[in-house]
């Protein structure tokens, strides 16, 4: 007779095998598209534009399978501490398998797959047996019922004691300092108060990705992306705009400086960024190029002792209150050079409050900014910027002479961390939304019973918990990969998965609240509009899926057999 432990082990093993079965189908589709987009045996990215829809769906399929795999590995590790983790991970895996299978079936022709073979998969082992046992309505309802009975929506994190202490410290900070101010900042679109920024600086928020030798929290001898993820998640639970995104900009700036800055630039900027003495904003996006960074056109013309900047930037978040704009500019006027003609600059400016500013540079030129009204993500304020003959000294060029034409690469080094951090921001927002949804479902009565007594609510809450847990554990897994100098593709995948999940989770939290969820005074309405931006910034969903994930997976399809 099998022991209970061995039976559980068999279930996990079966789940992992099922993931492999569908991954084989996905890999076959990727290989088919590789052939369809090759000319004389060479992959041609331009040909991929004729296959955008199926490529988009395959990117999400890979993200879903990777998330399910991370969820299962997490549950194997902690299920002995909490049986709910086991039930949840198996149900989530089954849900993911059905979703990916349906995508493949829908796009079988475009993906070069056999519809009859896909249909047979669902009626044969291992899929048929596993799906018969897991992921049905009754299982999700039972998970939702237990979640409501507990009230506490936190499952074991799987973190070590050091990271748990960090998580607990920043959770208290979010509850005591951030949450009391979050609604006011959002509803009245105010600046983030200086006292909140100063308190965050005292907690070390700005130095999570800066080595200790520069005054940051990251060990000198190794990266610690996981600590940054844990901090980001708790701050975002307090408020995405008022806290969770405060550390994104210094994190991107620090990674860029560590990737290419001169020794003098690192010694000057990193200590200031680490303690919040210098607040950073990232000026990359332009009105005519969006996520296509290689088409940046803001001109940097060499001048006596420095460079003169002319052009526009947009969606530059926190530009008003920042002390430095990390600005990508074209230093080579030959547009055929593409991303190889771009360089990165650290542009000094004074801090400004409010929704617009104008700065007359004492060394020549003018910089103006006007905040863009947005439905959410308020407080940080995202600006349109205009540089008019704005002079910056030679010392502003990241990397000095060696940095000419390297700006794109330094920017990408920063964005890799930005993507995984955005996944953590998504998890934080989902955590807050689920906490409110569970509390409301327990207390609010309709038709003579609490909202949580209804099966549909129970299923919703269970699936929300599953999406949150998968997002969290996927981001933890990717953080560990990045700390081992890997995980670049996975960072894009976890952003793709988590940001889409956050939109759905916050939507369901709002729906559970009914009419109150639509009221601006309700926290869940803020979570909903804040979550919507996650799939747009740090790489818009479509660009990320098509130009980063699908392009790489299809180009290298032969390596994923």
- β strands within 290-381, DSSP E: 299-303, 306-317, 324-330, 342-348, 356-360, 366-371
* CA angle centred on 379, ends 533 and 524, rounded to 5°: 55
Q: Are strands 280-283 and 324-330 parallel, antiparallel or unpaired?
A: parallel
Q: Which of 25, 251, 538, 541 is catalytic?
A: 538
Q: Look up residue 545 and give its DSSP letter.
A: I
Q: Which helix (H) or strand (E) holds 42?
A: strand 42-43
- Residues 533, 534, 538, 539, CA torsion sign: negative
Q: Is 6 exposed, middle or buried (0-12, 13-18, 19+ CB in 10 A)?
A: exposed
CA neighbours closer than 13 Å in the CB half-sphere of residue 42: 3
Residue 538 annotated among the catalytic residues of the structure: yes
**What is the spatial distance between Cα 386 and Cα 389, in angstroms, rounded to a whole number?**
10
Beta bridge partners of 311: 387
**What is the spatial distance between Cα 410 and Cα 215, in angstroms, rounded to a whole number?**
22
Other C-beta atoms lying within 10 Å of the C-beta of residue 473 = 27
For residue 355, give the 3-state DSSP assignment: coil
Q: Are strands 382-393 and 306-317 parallel, antiparallel or unpaired?
A: antiparallel
SS3 of 95-156: HHHHHHHHHHHHCHHHHCCCHHHHHHHHCCCCHHHHHHHCCCHHHHHHHHHHHHHHCCCCCC
Would you name the residues annotated as active-site residues?
A: 538
């Amino acid at each position: 007779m099998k022991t209970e432990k061995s039976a559980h082990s068999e279930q996990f093993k079966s789940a992992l095998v099922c993931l492999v079965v569908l991954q084989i189908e996905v890999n076959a589709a990727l290989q088919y598209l590789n052939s369809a987009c090759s000319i004389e045996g060479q992959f041609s990215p331009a040909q991929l534009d004729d296959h955008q829809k199926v490529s988009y769906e395959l990117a999400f399929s890979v993200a879903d399978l990777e998330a399910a795999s991370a969820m299962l590995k997490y549950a194997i590790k902690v299920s002995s501490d909490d049986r709910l983790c086991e039930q949840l991970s198996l149900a989530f895996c089954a849900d993911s398998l059905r979703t990916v299978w349906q995508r493949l079936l829908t796009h079988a022709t475009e993906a070069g797959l056999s519809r009859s073979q896909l249909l047979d998969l669902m009626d044969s082992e291992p899929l048929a047996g596993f799906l018969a046992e897991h992921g049905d309505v009754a299982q999700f309802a039972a998970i939702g019922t237990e979640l409501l009975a507990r009230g506490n929506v936190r499952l074991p994190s799987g973190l070590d004691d050091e990271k748990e202490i960090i998580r607990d410290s920043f959770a208290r900070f979010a509850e005591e300092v951030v949450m009391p101010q979050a609604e006011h900042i959002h509803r009245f679109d105010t600046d983030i108060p200086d006292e909140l920024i100063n308190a965050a600086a005292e907690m070390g928020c700005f130095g999570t990705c800066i080595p200790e030798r520069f005054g940051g929290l990251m060990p000198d001898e190794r990266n610690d992306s996981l600590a940054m993820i844990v901090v980001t998640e708790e701050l975002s639970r307090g408020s995405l705009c008022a806290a969770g995104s405060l550390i994104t900009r210094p994190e991107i700036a620090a990674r860029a400086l560590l990737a290419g800055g001169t020794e003098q630039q690192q010694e000057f900027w990193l200590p200031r960024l680490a303690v919040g003495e210098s607040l950073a904003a990232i000026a990359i996006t332009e009105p005519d190029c969006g996520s296509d960074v290689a088409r940046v056109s803001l001109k940097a013309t060499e001048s006596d002792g420095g460079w003169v900047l002319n052009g526009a930037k947009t969606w530059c978040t926190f530009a008003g209150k920042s002390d430095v704009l990390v600005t990508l500019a074209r230093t080579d006027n030959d547009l055929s050079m593409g991303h190889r003609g771009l360089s990165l600059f650290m542009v000094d400016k004074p801090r400004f409050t409010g929704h617009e500013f104008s700065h007359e540079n004492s060394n020549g030129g003018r910089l103006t900014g006007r905040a863009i009204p947005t439905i959410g993500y308020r407080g940080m304020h995202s600006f349109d910027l205009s540089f008019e003959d704005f002079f910056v000294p030679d010392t502003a060029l990241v990397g000095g002479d060696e940095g000419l034409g390297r700006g794109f690469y330094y920017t990408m080094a920063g964005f890799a961390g930005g993507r995984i951090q955005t996944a953590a921001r998504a998890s934080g927002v989902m955590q807050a939304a689920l906490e409110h949804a569970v509390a409301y479902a327990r207390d609010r009565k309709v038709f003579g019973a609490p909202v949580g007594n209804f099966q549909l609510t129970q299923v919703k809450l269970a699936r929300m918990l599953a999406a949150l847990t998968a997002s969290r554990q996927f981001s933890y897994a990717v953080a560990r990969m990045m700390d081992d100098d890997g995980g670049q593709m996975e960072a894009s995948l976890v952003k793709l998965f988590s940001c889409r999940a956050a939109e759905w989770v916050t939507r369901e939290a709002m729906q559970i609240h009914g009419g109150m969820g639509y009221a601006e005074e309700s926290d869940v309405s803020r979570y909903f509009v804040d979550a919507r931006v996650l799939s747009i910034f740090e790489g818009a969903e479509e660009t990320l899926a098509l130009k980063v994930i699908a392009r790489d997976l299809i180009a290298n399809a032969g390596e994923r057999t």
